[in-house]
Chain A
Amino acid sequence: MKQTSEYTGPIIRVKDLVKKFGSFTAVDHISFDVKKGEIFGFLGANGAGKTTAIRMLCGLLEPTSGALRVAGFDGYHQREAIKRNIGYMSQKFSLYEDLTVYENFRLYAGIYGIPRKERIRKTDELLKKLNLEESRDKLVAGLPLGWKQKLAFSLALFHQPAVVFLDEPSGGVDPLTRRTFWDLIYEVAHQGITIFVTTHYMDEAEYCNRVAIMSEGKIVALDTPVALKEQYHTDSMDGVFLKIARNKE
């Protein structure tokens, strides 16, 4: 199943990607590459085409035209292979609240076809690392939000994907917890796993290696946070975002 280890090129390659729904163009000729181990931020107002773009990257939607490769697999014909090689965490954390921590691990491992032995070993290892050993048999519903967030992230990584998509991973979480969460993200990126993250929080955008900003289906800015701030003569990502929005008008 793991066919990615030898692959060394960009983990995500997008060239002139288009998605149309009838006469409406949700994603309009976007192009970008994401390197292995990079933390790539994906920003944009609601309705800018972010969600549609991510759905294509995750193999959920077939593109209308353009080239798309994720982890070396084609976005048209190898969507199943893409699904096996990516992790996904949504803003709702998407854990089963009426299952215990351990049962959640067991379910995800089962879905990704991870053998029993490996599953048990990895689950123990992760629980230890997250300091969740005591909550192993507790229902997820009773855990604090920050723990759920970490848990959801670990689950998305459980099958060792090449890329993890984080769709607004810090919704409703306080800044301090957000900060510790980002420590976790850096650690994972260091191990060579690519992080593709969408967010509303501009402090999170600052943490990314590079940031793409989408507006009306197009990518209107793409660079490191530092370069973007320089380009728009402002000292925060918030400023960059506002200036782009104003330019549009």
Chain B
Amino acid sequence: MNQLLGFVKKEFTHIFRDPRTMVILFGIPIIQLMLFGYVITTEIKDARIAILDHSNDNVTREIKNKILSSGYFRLEANLIQENEIDPIFKKGDVKEVIVFEKGFAENLEREGKANIQVIADASDPNTAQMLYNYTNGIVQDYTKKKFAGFTIPVQIKSEVRMLYNENMVGAFMYVPGTMALILMLISAMMTSITIAREKEMGTMEILLVSPLKATHIILGKVAPYLLLSLIDAFVVVFLGNVVFGVPIRGSLFVLAFLVILYISMALSLGILISTVANSQQVALFISGFALMLPTILLSGFIFPIENMPVPLQILSNFMPPRWFIDALKQVMLKGNGFAYIWPNVLILCAMTLFFLGLSVKKFRLRLE
């Protein structure tokens, strides 16, 4: 135990004496958070929606046909009652629910006016805004064509409600994503580099020849980064809350659990990388290309997954940040607990174990 403590202490000294490491640890997270606070435009295709049709008449059927044949939407469920709306959002199956009021065609004929309510999951604000615009566009287009010859102006009014993120703040989407990116950067990249550095400097040999056990060496290298990553996660959540007003609706316990799980996953990835990388440059290269780019591009952080070509959609399933970002949004923005995020938790656990197992195997192979 004392041996391990001395080792961890030394690791902290390495970190605090290297200005570059300090910048990566504490400068980059803040800069990235601020940068990603700005909105990046995205596009929609085949978004899953549900429809609650209270009248089910000719006009509503026509409008539904138009919407579903547009290519932007895919019908996930036909709802019967209002109280089905909330659960289906919480489950995360649909991005938008379209509600037709009772006696839709009648109202339109008698008063020249009928109402559609569009409810969107705005924890992903770009997508939500886009979905609403598309829906509205289709409805207006339909109205214009259908009632072109009429003298009285006919109006179908669509009313929109953004769930979970009423004010459509872009940062709501980017804070969880930035967190995923930063934790990956610090945990995976920094550990792989620091272990590779010991190999490069030849100090790893000394450690291996010493009575320290391999697990102690790895634990000693990893523990400081676990702690510092946690601090960074706290800083991101705190800044997100104070600067961008991103809420934390779920329990802090669930949030902390999720963050620690994700950090563990990233750390085991870092260890895995260090088993194949013998120099800091190689470690940096692998973690940069193999981790950072997929985290940014394939996790749904910036580009909606439902909009990707099918092969990339499949590939995104293997990206740990995807599951983390999704779960994080659910916890922070929707206030969901384990009852909803357990599949994500399970997947992240499985990935962590897989990476750890693989690194142990690689480590042994290398020693032999």
Are B10's CB and A99's CB within 8 A?
Answer: yes
Partner of B209, one of A60, A92, A97, A98: A60
Are B211's CB and A60's CB within 8 A?
Answer: no
Q: How far is the CA of A95 from the CA of B13 in the complex (A)?
A: 14
Whether A219 is near chain B, meaning CB under 8 Å from some CB there, is no
Given contacts A21-B368, A111-B210, A113-B211, whether A96 and B6 have CB atoms under 8 Å apart is: no
- List chain A residues, Cβ under 8 A from B13: 98-99, 103
A interface residues, how many (CB within 8 angstroms): 28
Are B202's CB and A98's CB within 8 A?
Answer: no
- List chain A residues, Cβ under 8 A from B205: 88, 90, 92, 94
A196 to chain B: closest CB distance in Å? 13
Interface residues of A in 46-93 (CB under 8 A from B): 58-61, 80, 83-84, 86, 88, 90-93
- List chain A residues, Cβ under 8 A from B367: 60-61
Are A96's CB and B368's CB within 8 A?
Answer: no
Q: How far is the CA of A113 from the CA of B203 in the complex (A)?
A: 18
Most buried by B among A93, A107, A113: A107
Whether A106 is near chain B, meaning CB under 8 Å from some CB there, is yes
Given contacts A92-B201, A94-B202, whether A80 and B6 have CB atoms under 8 Å apart is: no
Q: How far is the CA of A188 from the CA of B294 in the complex (A)?
A: 55
Residue of A nearest to B203 (CB): A94
Partner of B206, one of A59, A88, A110, A113: A88
Ordered by A's residue number, 26 sampled pairs between the chains whose C-beta atoms are within 8 Å are A60-B209, A61-B367, A80-B211, A84-B211, A88-B206, A90-B202, A91-B202, A92-B202, A94-B205, A95-B203, A96-B10, A96-B201, A97-B201, A98-B17, A99-B10, A99-B14, A103-B13, A107-B7, A110-B5, A110-B6, A111-B6, A111-B7, A111-B212, A112-B211, A113-B3, A165-B209
Partner of B208, one of A60, A86, A165: A60
- Seen from chain B, the residues whose Cβ lies within 8 Å of a Cβ on chain A are 2-3, 5-7, 10, 13-14, 17-18, 201-203, 205-212, 367-368
Q: How far is the CA of A111 from the CA of B9 in the complex (A)?
A: 12
Interface of B is mostly: helix
A88 to chain B: closest CB distance in Å? 4
Are A58's CB and B209's CB within 8 A?
Answer: yes
Residue of B nearest to A93 (CB): B202
Are A86's CB and B209's CB within 8 A?
Answer: yes
Residue of B nearest to A86 (CB): B209
A97 to chain B: closest CB distance in Å? 7
- List chain A residues, Cβ under 8 A from B14: 96, 98-99
Are B202's CB and A83's CB within 8 A?
Answer: no
A159 to chain B: closest CB distance in Å? 9
- List chain B residues, Cβ under 8 A from A86: 209
Q: How far is the CA of A186 from the CA of B288 in the complex (A)?
A: 49
A68 to chain B: closest CB distance in Å? 16
Partner of A113, one of B2, B17, B208: B2
